[in-house]
Amino acid sequence: MITSRSTYRQGFDPVSIKADFPILNREINGRRLVYLDNAATTQKPITVIEATRRFYTRYNANVHRGLHTLAEEATAALEAARREVAAFIGGVKTEEVIFTRGATESINLVAYAWGQHNVKAGDRIVLTQMEHHANLVPWIALAKRTGAELAYIPIDDNGYLVLDRLSEIISSKTKIVAVTHMSNVLGTINPIETIIEAAHARRALALIDAAQSMPHMPVDVRSLGADFVAFSAHKMLGPTGIGVLYGKESILADMEPFNYGGEMIGEVTYDHADWASLPWKFEAGTPNIAGAAAFTPALDYLEKLGMDNVRRHEHELTEYAIERLSLLDSIRILGPLNADHRGGAISFVDKDVHPHDLSQILDQHGVAIRAGHHCAQPLHRRLGLVSSARASFYVYNTRGDVDQLVYALKEARGYFGHE
Ligand SMILES: Cc1ncc(COP(=O)(O)O)c(C=O)c1O
């Protein structure tokens, strides 16, 4: 259950938080592990690891269709996780919380189950130039299937969305606007309230890709008024293989299922089937029960820290990292330089050393960062790049981790013979 929030000064100590994450005790190449690949996936606290173990050692069973004790306990764990998610994202109804495999599947669910019946030739789907492939490729595929057109809200060279022509881009033909809340490359926190309002003014729906925002800041989907919100447990201390699609009940109720099979039906005959009520209509087959059981303690952990405090901590760390990285003349930081407008995923390029080489040398110093296009090829192309390096923070990262990053970056330059 949700516990009381701690205040930043009293309760938020990244050093003691680190102690809750066994993996962070590891040494890599003889150095203390500095894990800065949190935008890809986060590490898990002991409570999450223990919950997985407890599920398999105490009450592993399938859900919803057994009357024995284990089946009842497994079902209770799944539905408790759903209640916890509903509370965490702003007090929505449990009918509106659909468990998926992750943000990618959540967005695909909408692009298929809603898109197929509501988007036709000549309609418009609006995205931004900074989308992750997960919020880009399903819409490209839908446009191809239906003959709809795609339109993009552009970005400027500093990584901000350009909203001047918003009412033109979100035209009267627009059926859905799908936008990331926080860019996984630029870190930009987008003004989604404005975009949701503009979508609704045209009677279009708004889908928010919250894969990078839900883990890092308070997100109240009810007050935002978004029609769909997608995110993944593994980016917020939880296990892999489980995520969430929030959808407004009235919209979900009108949608056809995504997958068909067991668990999602009402009555089945040899030539007819009808559907279970929400949210199970969208959860065909055996769900990730162990994942749900371990998602609950992840949410508990974040609630206990307080999402305002999580945001404040990362804001402070991001500000510090930008300050330190900006002192390195060879480094170009992508995205906003003002931490008020961004999260703690900081992508950068070195003018002399390839991102892959940087990542490899940093690994020699125990520092885990990501190098590549971060599933955002069109965005990199827009920035005139093929790839970048990315350091991304979470609750257990410290200023010391940033110092180690900067030290290792200097070492990497030295290794390749640059000052
Ligand atoms: C902005 C954004 N959207 C969607 C995704 C996809 O998340 P998943 O791979 O967990 O489905 C990611 C993952 O990196 C992301 O950063």
CATH second-level architecture of 50-303? Answer: 3-Layer(aba) Sandwich (3.40)
- Distances in Å between the alpha carbon of 185 and those of 307, 362, 409? 22, 19, 19
Name the strands in the sheet holding 370-372, side by side, starting at the edge strand that comes first in the sequence.
Answer: 331-333, 345-350, 388-392, 370-372
Confidence of residue 19 (pLDDT cuts 50, 70, 90): very high
Per annotation, catalytic residue among 375, 385, 403, 411:
375
Q: Torsion over CA of 195, 200, 202 and 206, rounded to 10 degrees? A: 60
Q: Which two tokens stand for residue 3?
A: 């516990």
Q: Which of 41, 131, 179, 209 to mutate to test the pocket of ligand 1 (most atoms within 8 A of CB)?
A: 209
User: Strand (E) positions, 114-253?
Assistant: 124-128, 149-153, 174-180, 205-209, 228-232, 243-247
Q: Which sequence spans correspond to the domains of the chain?
A: 8-38+307-415, 50-303
Percent of the chain at pLDDT exceeding 70: 97
| pLDDT reported for residue 66 | 73
Q: Which atom of ligand 1 is nearest to the CA of 180?
A: 1
Our answer to whether residue 375 is catalytic in this structure is yes
| pLDDT reported for residue 65 | 75
Task: Select from 21, 46, 17, 6 the least CA-distant residue to 398.
Answer: 17
In this predicted model, what pLDDT tens digit does every residue of 264-279 receive, in sequence order?
Answer: 999 999 999 999 999 9
**How far from each other are the two terminal CA atoms of the chain, in whole angstroms?**
53
7: pLDDT strictly greater than 90: no
Output the pTM of the full model. 0.96
Q: Residue 147: exposed, middle, or buried by beta-carbon count in 10 A (0-12, 13-18, 19+)?
A: exposed
Amino acid symbol at 79: E
- Residue nearest ligand 1's atom 14 by CA: 40
Q: Which residues of 190-215 are buried (b: 16+ CB within 10 A; e: fewer)?
A: bbbeebbebbbebebbbbbbbbbbbb
Q: Which atom of ligand 1 is nearest to the CA of 102?
A: 11
Place of tokens 């209770």: 76
In this predicted model, what pLDDT tens digit does every residue of 363-386 receive, in sequence order?
Answer: 999 999 999 999 999 999 999 999
| pLDDT reported for residue 395 | 98
CA distance 301 to 6: 11
- Residue nearest ligand 1's atom 7 by CA: 103
Spatial CB neighbours of 180, under 8 Å, sequence gap ≥ 6: 128, 130, 131, 132, 135, 190, 208, 209, 211, 212
Distance 74 CA to ligand 1 centre (A): 28
The answer for 255, left when phi > 0, alpha when psi is -120 to 50, beta otherwise, is beta
Stretch 112-121: mean pLDDT, rounded? 97
One-character DSSP codes across 61-114: --SSS--SHHHHHHHHHHHHHHHHHHHHTTS--GGGEEEESSHHHHHHHIIIII
CA distance 45 to 57: 19
Distance 290 CA to ligand 1 centre (A): 21
Confidence of residue 11 (pLDDT cuts 50, 70, 90): low
CATH of domain 8-38+307-415: 3.90.1150.10
For 25, which DSSP code?
G
Distance 135 CA to ligand 1 centre (A): 8
Half-sphere exposure of 295 (CA within 13 A, CB side): 31
Ligand 1 binding site (Cβ under 6 Å of any ligand atom): 39, 102-104, 132, 134-135, 180, 184, 209, 211-212, 232, 375
CA distance 158 to 213: 20
Distance 375 CA to ligand 1 centre (A): 8
Q: What is the mean pLDDT of the chain?
A: 96
Task: Select from 407, 412, 396 the least CA-distant residue to 38.
Answer: 396
For residue 88, the cross-strand partners are none
Stretch 161-165: mean pLDDT, rounded? 98
| pLDDT reported for residue 8 | 45
Task: Select from 86, 102, 404 the least CA-distant residue to 234.
Answer: 102
| CB contact at 8 A, 227 and 247 | yes
